[in-house]
Amino acid sequence: MSDGLPVKRKLWDRLRDTYRISILDDENLEEVGSYNLSLLSFYIFISVVALLLSTLVISFIVFTPVKRLIPGYGDITDNKKFIELSKKVDDLEEEVSAYDAYLGGLKTLLTGGIYNSSVEKIDSLANRKNIRPELVNQEDMAETNRAKELDFLKFATPVSGKVAAGFNPSIQHYGVDILSAKDTPIKSIMDGVVISAEQSVTTGNSVYIQHNKNVVSVYKHNSVLLVKTGDIVKTGQAVAIIGNSGEMSTGPHLHFEMWYDGKYVNPEKYITFQ
């Protein structure tokens, strides 16, 4: 002590000072226990406890699903919204692909490829005035060789039943007529886009579907149409109900045609109906 003033002690010395903590009984003030503790040991104890708590909290967040509740921390691929958005993107890509096929069908329709401008959208090349009848068989033989590419595709059966009239281009019958029970659903042979679903005076309620690989399937004389133009259909999906509509029909049946790269092919080579 100098001049009556206390000497200022260093912080380290003050931290090492020992303090006594006593625990007394409230009723009789009897000492129950006592502890000697310095400020330094107290700070060390508090720091260790804080470190342990921090380690436990971090481990709990990192190694449990709780982390998904923290914005920006969880794995984005596990996020429900991310999964939903990914599914929507996949659906949109499928719709865009189908729409491209639909536009391709419309383009062919407008440019007169496998379609003409009449209500009967698909017709025979033999019906064109600039093709002589004697050339039809030669063209059909060439088409048979070219259509071998279809052997690598898998088609669903549009309807099961007896083939009442087979494929016969010489009499302008470019498909097969299939007899089946009343109210039987007609199914799409592949995934595709409906490029036409409407009624015609001659062929009745008809459906035209554009598929991949430039395959077009045709379903005529239906009693009811279950799809509309622009619809996306899946393999085996019902698109119509068998019927007897149209002037060219003489009884309930399905007239089914297959076209490949703008030319007719014999459906019985690729699909079993019975």
Residue 211: which CATH number? Answer: 2.70.70.10
User: Are 165 and 241 found together in one domain?
Assistant: yes
pLDDT class for 184, splitting at 50, 70, 90? very high
Domain assignment present for residue 44? The answer is yes
State how far the Cα of 104 lies from the Cα of 210, in Å rounded to an integer. Answer: 9
Paired tokens of 263? 């030319």
User: Are 137 and 253 found together in one domain?
Assistant: yes
**What 3-state DSSP class applies to 264?**
strand
Residues 6+ apart with CB under 8 A from 114: 108, 122, 216, 259, 262, 263
What letter represents residue 97's amino acid? S
Q: What does the longest C-alpha to C-alpha distance in the chain come to? A: 137
Predicted local confidence at residue 219, as pLDDT: 96
Domain assignment present for residue 212? The answer is yes
**Last residue in a domain, options 62, 78, 99:** 62
pTM of the model as a whole: 0.52
Domain assignment present for residue 81? The answer is no
Domain assignment present for residue 274? The answer is no
User: Are 253 and 151 found together in one domain?
Assistant: yes
User: Are 170 and 263 found together in one domain?
Assistant: yes
Predicted local confidence at residue 217, as pLDDT: 94
pLDDT class for 137, splitting at 50, 70, 90? low
Mean pLDDT of 62-66: 73
Domain assignment present for residue 92? The answer is no
Domain coverage including residue 40? 11-62
State how far the Cα of 59 lies from the Cα of 9, in Å rounded to an integer. Answer: 42
CA distances from 122 to 32, 119, 151, 188 (A): 104, 9, 22, 17
pLDDT in tens, 189-225: 999 999 999 988 888 999 999 998 889 999 999 999 9
Domain assignment present for residue 139? The answer is yes
User: Are 165 and 254 found together in one domain?
Assistant: yes
CA angle 29, 33, 31 (to 5 degrees): 20
Least confident residue range of 10-19, 38-47, 103-112, 218-227: 103-112
User: pLDDT at residue 87 above 70?
Assistant: yes
Domain assignment present for residue 83? The answer is no
User: Are 132 and 263 found together in one domain?
Assistant: yes
Q: Phi and psi of 109, rounded to 5°?
A: -60, -45
* Structural domain total, the chain: 2
Mean pLDDT of 179-197: 92
Domain assignment present for residue 74? The answer is no
Mean pLDDT of 170-188: 92
